[in-house]
Structure 1
Amino acid sequence: MRKVIYPKVGGVDSIRIVEADDPVPGPGQVTVRIHRAGINFADLMMRQGLYGSNPDYPFTPGYEAAGEVIEAGDGVEGLQSGDRVLAMTGFGGYSEQIALDASRVIPLPDSISFDQAAAIPVTYGTAYHMLVHLGNLANGETVLVHHAAGGVGTAVAQICEAYGASLVVGTASSPKREFVESMGVRFVDREVEDFVDVCKEMTEGKGVHHAIDPVGGSHVMRSYKALRRGGKLYYFGASAAVKGDKKSTLTALRMWATTPRFDPLKMMSSNKAVFGVHMGLLDDESV
């Protein structure tokens, strides 16, 4: 079989496709023939050496994939050859085949395509974990999300609609306005408007209940300021550390240097909460 590897830190030209032995399922595992693999911003950060929790180089990226079961190992029940599945791979999804624990595989109904399935776990899992599991999103609440046209932004908009949020404010670049607005989101052109002012104006000066920030650096404090008293900020990315195709150490250092330090006493006085979210490092996978 073939698989993608990141042999070292580098740009797109560092990516390699290599031949490898077909995997064999161990006890409690299945092998899956991958038809589609999800691509996430985290994969780019891993390639640039900015992610911090990927395996040592060389390794195969890919958090999520969809395909069909090739073979089930000893002790596996409920899965058999030919079953269509969604695989939460962790790493290794950029392969033609992968062996993984059967507990990380979910059968797919025929109504969900491989394209759709491979785009679900990371983005929708992250958005749901933040808004519902941590945030207890309620009917009538208000939400700010950055990179609103991205995978998590799209999932946030759909979850907010399902849970009855009264307002979703989404930042993005101007070419993405039409798509963002098509989801019922109040579009904010990040190059022209101040999202803090927009959030305040649209909530009678109070601010939003939830703010979702994948940018990092000084941007995080601005998201915090967009919250009302009792609001919740979820910080789950660091796009401000990336500039271009290859790693920029200066850009990354600037982001880390401008990341705010929160004063617990001030947080207590405003009843605000800050959550750091990294789905790849959750110890309790049932969450």
Structure 2
Amino acid sequence: MKAITLPSFGDADVLQLAEVPDPVLRPHDLLVRNHAAGVNRADVNQRRGAYGRTDFGDSALMGLEIAGEVLAVGDAVQGFAPGDRVMGIVGGGAYAELARIDYRMAMPVPAGLAYVEAAAIPEAYVTAHEALLHLGQLRPGERVLIHAAASGVGSAAVQLAAACGAQVFATASGHKLDQLNALGASVLIDYQREDFQAVVEQTTAGGGVDVIVDFIGAPYFERNILSLANGGRLVQVGLLGGGTGASVPLERILYGHLRILGTVMKSRTPAEKHAMVNRFSAHWLADFQARGLKPVVDSVVPLERAAEAHRRMESNQNLGKIVLAVNHHGAA
């Protein structure tokens, strides 16, 4: 099969299309003919060498989420059969014509969605659900601030929060704010021109927000803490701005009864990952579109031009997911 390989760390041009062996089916695996693969920030970090290795053990190939057609199932698989349309999260191997996926990390593609849309769901929406509902315990009528709201996870979080009946505050570049408003954000903050803490304070009359989902880290930490309402929850999902040097207002944490939680899917055990996927599926999947949810696809790039997709992500110009299209006869 053809796949994108990572011979060495470096800029986007190190990604190369090559002929590689087909994946070997294990008892709990589905063998999937890929039609689309989501591109994630973790892929860019991996390519640059941020994790210190070119793969994570499950596959020597890059890529964390797939959408395609089941070709074969392992002996221990339950609930899936050849011909099923599936999407899901893999431990590498998505940037390829074929992939194997543990069936407990796979989900049916919602009816009416094309594969390129389905590939934009798994990592983004599972992570968003985990941050907002499982950890953040967001409830109807509460206020939530979502940073980097135009990212794949951010745009998913905006939709899920709005569907929960929360008031959504969103930070992003100014030219992306109208689209975030269309997704359900009602308080729009241009992070390049406005101080989000000041906007939150003014909009809530000093009351603060109940939940913050943050991808930035140290540069935002103190202002995040000061923007939370009493009993508020900060869920740290990423560290795009760095993880050290943050000022920690301990008195506010103590007397405000605040909670600070972190979540990273990649470092969780297989059982924890299975539970995350199951929680999202049980809550949202049966009526995904009926609840007004639609994956936000920024752009679709052919598999062989994966380097172009990575450069798009590194430019920070995308709104929603960048997806690689894997061309097969009859692809949706």
TM-score, normalised via structure 1 length: 0.87
Which sits farther off after the overlay, 101-110 or 15-24? Answer: 101-110
Q: Corresponding residue for 1:55? A: 55
Identity %: 35
2:255 — aligned with what? 269
Task: Indicate if the aligned counterparts of 1:143 and 1:211 stay in contact, CA closer than 8 A.
Answer: yes
The corresponding residue for 1:154 is: 155
Task: Show the counterpart of 1:244.
Answer: none
RCO greater where, 1 or 2, for CA within 8 Å and sep 6 or more?
2
Q: CA deviation at 1:262?
A: 6.8
- Check the 8 A contact 2:33/2:70 in 1, yes or no: yes
Contact 1:30 1:69 in 2 (8 A): yes
Structure 2 Cα separation of the partners of residues 210 and 54 of structure 1: 35
What's the CA shift string for 1:76-128, capped at 9, x where partnerless? Answer: 34333222111321211111101232222223344222122111111111111
Give the conservation status (yes or no) of the 8 Å contact 1:67–1:85.
Answer: yes
Say whether the 8 Å CA contact 2:233–2:259 is kept in structure 1.
Answer: yes
Counterpart CA distance in 2 for 1:218 and 1:190 is 12
1:67, distance to aligned residue in structure 2 (A): 0.3
Q: TM-score, normalised by structure 2?
A: 0.75
CA distance in 2, matches of 1:272, 1:101: 37
Q: 1:21 aligns to what?
A: 21
Where does structure 2 lack aligned partners over 5 or more consecutive residues?
277-332
User: By how many angstroms is 1:174 displaced?
Assistant: 1.6
**Where do 5+ consecutive residues of structure 1 fail to align?**
241-254
Which has the larger displacement, 30-39 or 3-12? 3-12
Contact 1:42 1:51 in 2 (8 A): no
Structure 1 pair 101/94, CA: closer, same or farther in 2 (3 Å)?
same
RMSD: 2.2
- Are the counterparts in 2 of residues 7 and 59 from structure 1 also a CA contact under 8 Å? no
After superposition, the Cα gap between the structure-2 partners of 1:75 and 1:277, relative to the gap in structure 1 and judged at 3 Å, is closer
Structure 2: distance between partners of 1:110 and 1:164: 24
Confirm or deny: 8 A CA contact 2:171 2:191 kept in the other structure: yes
State how many pairs are aligned: 271
Report 1:33-182 matches (<5 A): 33-51=33-51, 55=55, 59-165=60-166, 167-182=167-182
CA distance in 1, matches of 2:149, 2:61: 28
Residue type of the alignment partner of 2:245:
T
Q: 1:53 to 1:119 in 2, by over 3 A?
A: farther
Deviation at 1:56, TM superposition (A): 6.0
Deviation at 1:187, TM superposition (A): 1.2
